Structure 1
């Protein structure tokens, strides 16, 4: 991304009520110079021959066929911050495919923050699943139907992660807020740094209608595109921090009081999403999957 894109991002932050002055904007902009390219910030993690770069390394295409899927991961590990990526998903028959954009720590008892885009038959629409893993345990899935066709253009998918909450966003609309309730004994991801990861892979055993609809390989290769890698996070080592309080990853703008919760406008938008587009919420699971209602579901029914 060139300087013009960087400046646009910073101005949007000012317009979004991020706490900084015009002077800080100018100083930050001048100190940044040009934004990084794909190869500056990411490594191809698998399927090298299924990854293509375009537009001076500003756009990445991942492809999937019978031979392989593909993926990339950030060079850096982050502990808290704001993470944005624009994605254009597989067009046409994408049933059985999974396009993922997530953050994950590198350990067996890992933490993870997930966007998973579940492919579908033409005309059926994509399903977007979000999830949060803490200490290797997930089981916090929510699924929504997107209110637009994500295969015709790029749309922005964002993660705001701090010590108080994780906010998932789609085109600046919050679709989910996962709050920290550690005082009630509910684990929250705050000690394990995470990498940014994107992958395209075969999920036909579960992704579409519970695995009943398989991939039509005659439509391969399946291609998903990624661009506008906007990251403003605290870079740190991969080692877990015993406590975030003494670490350098505190005191940033995303830890300010206005980001510890949602504004009234954000709450209104957050209410609009489940009312109109959510079709699965682990808190409302009725199949007997959980022996008791998860504690956070009772707090925020």
Structure 2
């Protein structure tokens, strides 16, 4: 009897310290009830994009329309949309490199840096590389008329995802309109950045980019862990490319797309519930809640 009791206590105690299973419905967000990625057609890579840099580190599987880019000691690689946009839905399904990836950034983002160097706008989805046994961090960010010269004002929100992004492709998207920016993962909104002022919102046309590169100075725990090229090449795979909306050359009557059934934009109640669930359970950093930040520079936090 005593042995049976001890085994029972051990079993209960062990279960309290077991890591939660990603397959458990308790650790997946509630259904958003609407799937905007299904509203936009995928395009072949070369119809919408072109190589930007590191062509020798980029390979396209035409049969599956899957692009592979990689970083090694010599170079990374990047691609860019052939057209600039002033609003739209921009998405790609991405599979990340497993294992040690500290210092490595895999990105999908909007920017007009080439048109406005040193004074550009940017909307980022960035995967911050990690060390063995630790999860990737998905960082979302919005820059307005900034640069990389130390004066840039980041608006970062960071997440640890509810799945392992190295095991399979997942769809990551940015929906940008003149009124709001919505970041989505597998059609679940994870962040909404509304326009509260022309000074805190990007309105100039931007191109769509993807890249993998060495950001050892800051990417992993503020630069504590660097890229280790003993584990090269670091590989990122992209497919299911979507870029739909109003190009910079479209008529002024072109209507911005929406992330919800509402043509006017915004999110449904179910989408808000899903977003709040993600932020409650998986958000690990919010610039508006950082006491070390000078929030006079980010008035949207309290506007």
Tell whether the structures are fold-level matches, with TM greater than 0.5. Answer: yes
In the TM superposition, residue 205 of structure 1 has moved relative to its aligned partner by 1.1
Q: Distance in 2 between matches of 1:267 and 1:278?
A: 15
User: How far is 1:263 from its partner?
Assistant: 0.9
Residue number among 82, 88, 99 corresponding to 1:81 in the alignment: 88
1:1-301 equivalence runs, <5 A? 16=34, 36-56=43-63, 58-105=65-112, 106-108=115-117, 109-136=119-146, 137-182=152-197, 186-190=199-203, 192-237=204-249, 247-248=251-252, 250-254=254-258, 257-287=262-292, 289-290=293-294, 292=296, 294-299=298-303
Number of the residue aligned with 1:3: none
Deviation at 1:297, TM superposition (A): 1.2
Distance 2:277 2:205 in 1: 32
| CA-CA distance at 1:222 after TM superposition | 0.6
- In the alignment, which residue of structure 2 is the partner of 1:242? none
Please identify the structure whose Cα radius of gyration is greater.
2
Find the residue that maps to 1:93 and give its secondary structure. Answer: coil
Secondary structure of 2:270's partner?
Answer: helix
Change (3 A) 1:251 1:39: closer
In the superposition, the TM-score normalised over structure 1's length comes to 0.80
Q: Distance in 2 between matches of 1:74 and 1:164?
A: 23
Q: Is the 8 A contact 1:39 1:57 kept in 2?
A: no
Give distance in 2, aligned partners of 1:226 and 1:279: 25
What TM-score, normalized to structure 2?
0.79
C-alpha displacement at 1:91, in angstroms?
1.3
Q: Does the 8 Å contact 1:38/1:57 carry over to 2? A: no
Cα gap change, 1:98/1:107 in structure 2, threshold over 3 Å: closer, same or farther? same
Cα-to-partner distance string for 1:145-183 (whole Å, 9 max, x where unaligned): 11111011100001111111110000111010000112x
Instruction: Count the aligned residue pairs.
Output: 260
- Give the gaps of 5 or more residues in structure 1: 1-14, 19-24, 238-245
Residue 250 of structure 1, CA deviation:
3.5
Runs of 4+ in 1 over 4 A off after TM superposition: 255-259
8 A contact 1:283–1:293 mirrored in 2 = no
The separation in 1 between residues aligned to 2:64 and 2:168, in whole angstroms, is: 18
Aligned partner of 2:17 in structure 1 is: none
Listed as ranges, the gaps of 5+ residues in structure 2 are 1-32, 147-151
Contact 2:93–2:238 (8 Å) recurs in 1? yes
Greater helix content: 1
Higher relative contact order, structure no. (Cα contacts within 8 Å, ≥ 6 residues apart)? 2
